[in-house]
């Protein structure tokens, strides 16, 4: 249906309207993208300024190494134990090894003779697992993976409970296996 001037039902030349609708649409999308980017940049600048002005601002760079993550550990020793140190302590029975991973993972394989105290179940199992371990014992906690924090969390909990000689073997299970050191499956 067209009127005498060739316009459609709504009084618009349909072909002209469709053609002109596409051109401004691109401009609107581009404009919206630029506005969004500008808002993001302005927000970032404001947040950095506010952070810099606060006396308790967040550090923009951090040391995320395992050693730095363990800086709160109350231990007389270096908080991170190397694989060579852990091996020597294992061979001389100089430390108690504690696996911080969940029980089902521990049962599938762990350092030979290691105890299991899952970090997430610390309160439930602490008394039972730690009863035979004197507080002055050297303890080495471990889990699996460089980014695994279970061993760190467990070491900090043990330290807070009076086990002041607690250290962490970072990526313990993997490096132990890779070095073909004694391991076992099942539980005690």
- Arithmetic mean of pLDDT, 102-115: 96
| Token representation of residue 14 | 């349909």
Identify any residues that bridge with 96 across adjacent strands, giving them in sequence order.
139
What are the domain boundaries of the chain?
1-61, 66-184
Average pLDDT over residues 113-137: 95
Q: For the domain 66-184, what is the CATH code?
A: 3.40.250.10
Pairing of strands 96-99, 115-116: parallel
Q: Which tokens go with 93?
A: 């029975």
| pLDDT at site 16 | 46
As a dihedral over the C-alpha atoms of residue 18, residue 20, residue 25, residue 30, rounded to 10 degrees, the angle is: 150
Q: Report the share of the chain in percent with pLDDT over 90.
A: 59
Given a cut of 50, whether residue 20 has pLDDT beyond it is no
Among the listed ranges 4-13, 76-85, 94-103, which one has the minimum average pLDDT value? 4-13
Residue 86, pLDDT > 50, answer yes
Specify the residue for token string 């899952």: 118
Residue-wise pLDDT for 45-56, tens only, equals 999 999 888 888
H/E run at residue 110? strand 110-111
Per-residue pLDDT, 10: 52
The predicted-structure confidence for 65-85, as pLDDT tens digits, reads as follows 555 555 555 544 568 999 999
Degrees (nearest 5) of the Cα angle 141, 144, 145?
120
User: pTM value?
Assistant: 0.63
Mean pLDDT over 89-108 rounds to 96
Under the phi-then-psi rule, with left for phi > 0, alpha for psi from -120 to 50, and beta for the rest, what region is 38? Answer: alpha
């Amino acid at each position: 249906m067209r009127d005498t001037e060739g316009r459609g039902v709504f009084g618009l030349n349909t072909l002209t309207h469709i053609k002109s609708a596409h051109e401004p649409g691109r401009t609107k999308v581009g404009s919206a993208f630029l506005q969004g980017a500008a808002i993001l940049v302005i927000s970032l600048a404001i947040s950095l300024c506010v952070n810099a002005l606060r006396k308790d601002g967040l550090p923009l760079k951090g040391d995320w190494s395992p050693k730095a993550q363990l800086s709160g550990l109350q231990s007389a020793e270096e908080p991170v134990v190397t694989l060579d140190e852990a091996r020597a302590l294992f061979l001389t029975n100089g430390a108690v090894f504690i696996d911080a991973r969940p029980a089902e993972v521990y049962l599938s394989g762990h350092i030979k003779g290691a105890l299991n105290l899952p970090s997430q179940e610390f309160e439930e199992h602490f008394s039972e697992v730690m009863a035979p371990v004197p507080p002055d014992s050297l303890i080495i906690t471990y889990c699996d993976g460089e980014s695994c924090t279970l061993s760190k969390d467990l070491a900090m909990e043990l330290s807070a409970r009076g086990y002041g000689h607690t250290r962490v073997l970072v990526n313990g299970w993997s490096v132990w296996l890779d070095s073909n050191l004694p391991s076992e499956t099942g539980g005690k």
